[in-house]
Chains A and B, each alone.
Chain A
Amino acid sequence: MNLRMGAALAALAGLFVSAYLWLYKLGVIGTLACGTGGCETVQLSPQSRFMGVEVAAIGFAGYALLLLLTMASLQPRYANSTRLLMVIALLGGGAVLFTLYLKYLELFVIHAICRWCVGSAVLIGVFFTLIMLELRRVRRQQT
């Protein structure tokens, strides 16, 4: 298994985490398996929407896009291409920044921690780290 494959698996796991939270917001899932109650506090807070859109839905769309692009980068013709990796890294970096903003809201505005959101933050962190390592590897190979 290589770094891109690891990143794709992280994005896949993140896709399911965000799908779970989104389904909760849609009312399809009755209760969140959270334990602390913090998940519901976060999910029902005004900060659970960003510019009128559910944060969970944004996460789902973001992970789906990252997964699609990372799967595409596994094709042999993109093996030595840095262009696609750059696009993925930029999107992944944006996702990390957005996640940091959400963590700030949880800690300092909502004053509650959602375990599933923490899980998602770890997954996007792993994804971004693996993509950056892969980008560095390909660049080194080219020079």
Chain B
Amino acid sequence: MAEPSPMKRFYALFAVIAAAGVGFLLWQMNKSSTPAVPVKVTVQPADTAGFRGYVLGSDSAPVEIIEYADYQCPACQQFATVEWSYVRDRLVTPGRVRWVFKDFPLQQHPWARLAAHSAACASDQGKFWEYADAVFATQPDWSASRDAGKIFRAQAEKVGLNAAAWDQCMSALKFAGRIQASAEEGLKAGVGSTPSFVIGGRIYAGVLPYDKIKALVDSLSPAP
């Protein structure tokens, strides 16, 4: 039998590489639509410019409480679903406390950064608090899920976000640097677990019940 010509051999090899390349790209594209929010992201000054956390409450509130939280941490979920509504309604809304939420995603929680990024993209549309509440409330649904991104997206639609804009924000990993900056800031402040609260310059680790928070606020600024 005659040897195939060099040109035929070249085209055969060309077709093999092209088929392998197209196959690989299609496989990667269908693997998962969920982006991974990188940990080793270089934090740029622009990532945190004008941002000091998600703030709720009056600028003139006498007490500021900073919460460092991880969306996948069960204790944070407990605080968010049990205590937070009391704190918000009885201390933040009346103007006694200004609440600052900061991301502190823990390494052992694979979806923590994605959840934080999803919430950051919701804040881009002015709906951080509604979205964060929804993510905490549904934590048992997505925490053990293989593709939490789908649940986060469904939540985005549920709280009335512009899904296309949210998708774009997620794909671009717009807030990856800001989340990392927040985590680094927490470490620098001495945060070692979640949730942690900074009240009057002291760090309180673990879930703080409403009564304890109120007592601390009262001690810093007596109720009128």
Contact = CB atoms under 8 A, between A and B. Distances in A.
A116 B155 CA distance: 34
A30 B42 contact: no
A30 B34 CA distance: 5
Interface string A8-35: 1100110110011001001111110100
Nearest to B173: A44
B171 A27 contact: yes
Interface of B is mostly: helix
Contact of A19 (B25, B33, B149, B176): B25
Interface of B: 6-7, 9-10, 13-14, 17-18, 21-22, 24-25, 28-29, 31-36, 38-42, 44, 149, 167-168, 170-173, 176-177
B6 A40 contact: no
Contact of B42 (A5, A13, A26, A110): A110
A12 B171 CA distance: 27
Given A16-B17, A16-B21, 11 more contacts: A1-B13, A5-B10, A9-B10, A12-B14, A12-B21, A23-B28, A30-B32, A31-B31, A40-B40, A44-B38, A46-B42
B38 A9 contact: no
Nearest to A2: B6
Contacts of A13: 17, 21
B38 A27 contact: no
23 contacts: A1-B6, A1-B13, A8-B14, A9-B13, A12-B14, A12-B18, A16-B21, A16-B22, A19-B21, A23-B25, A23-B28, A27-B35, A27-B171, A29-B28, A30-B34, A37-B38, A37-B40, A40-B36, A44-B38, A44-B42, A44-B176, A74-B10, A110-B42
Interface of A: 1-2, 5, 8-9, 12-13, 15-16, 19-20, 23, 26-31, 33, 37-38, 40-41, 44-46, 74, 110, 112
